Amino acid sequence: MFGKKKAKKAVAEPVVELTPFQKAAQERATLKPFENSQYWVCGDYAIHYRVDKTAGKEKGKVFVLHGFWMNTMFYDELVEKLNAEGYTVYRADMPSFGYSTRETKGIDYVPTKDVIAKMIADLDDGKGFILYGHSMGGSVAMEVALLAPKHVKALVLNAPMFMRNSTDAQAERFTQDRMVNLLTLEAKLIQKLDKAIKLFIYVMGWDKDYAKSFDAKRFTAPFADPDAGESLGFFTGHVKKPDVKTLKNIKAPVQYVAGSRDLFVSKGASKKIRKALPKGTDYRVIKGAGHCFPQAQTDLAV
């Protein structure tokens, strides 16, 4: 009865083998592009983000989403403004952009809206975020507001723009070797076109002094990633726009800010988005501003 009990053999924990994409996500999360760089990792995705804390008493937290081809550096000026006003700012590189995971063929694909919605839910300290979205980022922000209503307490849309709905055929075409090679070459060329980038920035914001002094590397640096071209093709082949019929269901108060000289969002497209948003949306126009007023006209941006 009181004899020694036989010791149970220890059962070894099963070894979970990471997929190549999961390994790549773990490795990417060790990078440090900026002093305040952090990574949110989930499955095949490692999303690069930065937190800029206000020096004074915090009024709230803002989460900003950039537009197509852009990255966290797009918001340098606006972050400075919001910090001075008492807001801590979280800025993320969306999948396939900046220093986040570059989506390529074979990845366990998750739509951008779902990635960002889960990320915001995980990072929320319970007080919620004021969610900013510029251009394509505005399109994503609208969907995130629907997917994570408990974590989005207000929505600010700066020159929001809907992407088109890609088809399966387009997804296939944009990931074919020929297209990948072409886009990879394009990504390499972009890194050498400083003058063209400055012209692009001017047309985006209509501010000569700003464009002249703009450091093109804020735009071009992330294109040094070897998968930069391929991932842009993958993203373009998989992107979807929001279902406009659902946008009236956004619970957070919405502010829509437009530039009167925006060459990228037509008046018709802007009107369609405004009509789809909830009743009571605060609509404002910055006179003389272009598409990228959060950069060039930061002092006027809301």
Predicted pLDDT at 8: 61
- Report CA torsion sign: 215, 79, 261, 278: positive
Determine whether 213 is exposed, middle or buried from the number of CB atoms within 10 Å of its CB (0-12, 13-18, 19+). Answer: exposed
**CB 220 within 8 Å of CB 191:** yes
Predicted pLDDT at 204: 92
**Segment among 59-73, 93-107, 173-187 with least mean pLDDT:** 173-187
Share of the chain above pLDDT 90, in %: 85
Predicted pLDDT at 295: 78
> What's the CATH number for 21-163+243-296?
3.40.50.1820
**CB 63 within 8 Å of CB 92:** yes
When pLDDT is averaged across residues 130-155 and rounded to a whole number, the result is: 98
15 has pLDDT over 80: no
Q: Can you read off the two tokens belonging to residue 159? A: 């020159």
233 has pLDDT over 50: yes
2 has pLDDT over 50: no
Predicted pLDDT at 299: 60
Predicted pLDDT at 79: 96
Predicted pLDDT at 13: 67
Distance of CA 291 to the CA centre of its chain: 17
- Tell me the pLDDT tens digit for each residue of 28-64: 999 999 999 999 999 999 999 999 999 999 999 999 9
Determine whether 166 is exposed, middle or buried from the number of CB atoms within 10 Å of its CB (0-12, 13-18, 19+). Answer: middle
Predicted pLDDT at 1: 40
Model confidence band, residue 5 (pLDDT cutoffs 50, 70, 90): low
Residue 290, CA distances (Å) to 114, 157, 164, 263, 298 in order? 29, 14, 22, 7, 12
Average pLDDT, the chain: 92
Beta-bridge mates of residue 92: 49, 65
Predicted pLDDT at 293: 87
**Segment among 3-12, 19-28, 46-55 with least mean pLDDT:** 3-12
When pLDDT is averaged across residues 85-111 and rounded to a whole number, the result is: 98
Contacts with 268 (C-beta within 8 Å, 6 or more apart), sequence order: none
81-86-87 Cα angle (round to 5): 75
116 has pLDDT over 70: yes
Residue 77, CA distances (Å) to 3, 131, 239 in order? 75, 17, 28
Model confidence band, residue 165 (pLDDT cutoffs 50, 70, 90): confident
Beta-bridge mates of residue 258: 285
Domain layout of the chain by residue ranges: 21-163+243-296
3 has pLDDT over 90: no
pTM of the entire structure?
Answer: 0.91
74-98 CB burial, b ≥16 within 10 A, e <16: bbebbbeebbeeebbbbbbbbbbbb
190 has pLDDT over 60: yes
* Complete DSSP assignment for 237-267: HH-----GGGGGG--S-EEEEEETT-SSS-H
